[in-house]
Amino acid sequence: MGVIDKTVTLFRPVGQKEMELIRKSGYTSFPPRLPFQPIFYPVLSEEYAVQIARDWNTKDAASGYIGYVTTFRVRANFLSLYPVQTVGSSKHQEYWIPAEKLAEFNQNIIGLIEVIGKFRAS
């Protein structure tokens, strides 16, 4: 990584199907959004990602009733194009990346996407 490649560490809660697609990419990219998903929203804190994975993904059939927490680093200069969005309390901060910019987002990931948590329905 060069001196100019400053990065921001982000988190993303994902369900089972999305996790399988991340694995297939070699942990290098997030899959394209589905037609009803106009934005990709990585979050700024592990706490917020855990909350979504644990409290939402585990109750969602589309997520396979499993929530994974991933972490990864993205070039700061790419993220500077997008304002941080606060959705709820100050703990709930995320970036809203338009679906059509996800390939470019993936190209700006430095290193691999890591799984740091897994939650199942109780």
Domain boundaries in the chain?
7-120
pLDDT tens digit string along 63-87?
A: 999 999 999 999 999 999 999 999 9
Predicted structure pTM score? 0.93
pLDDT tens digit string along 20-73?
A: 999 999 999 999 999 999 999 999 999 999 999 999 999 999 999 999 999 999
Please tell me the predicted confidence (pLDDT) of residue 122.
79
Q: In this structure, are strands 84-86 and 66-75 parallel, antiparallel, or unpaired?
A: unpaired
Please state, in angstroms and as integers, the Cα–Cα distance from residue 11 to each residue in 2, 3, 4, 46, 49, following that order. Answer: 23, 23, 22, 6, 6
For the segment 5-27, the average pLDDT, to the nearest whole number, is: 96
Is 79 within 8 Å of 72 (Cβ atoms)? no
Average pLDDT of the chain?
A: 95
What residues have CB less than 8 Å from 42, skipping those under 6 apart? 10, 11, 12, 72, 74, 94, 95, 97
d(CA 22, CA 2): 26
* 4, pLDDT greater than 80: no
pLDDT tens digit string along 84-114?
A: 999 988 899 999 999 999 999 999 999 999 9
Confidence grade of residue 1 (pLDDT, cut at 50, 70, 90): very low
Domain 7-120 adopts which CATH fold?
Answer: ADP-ribosylation fold (3.20.170)
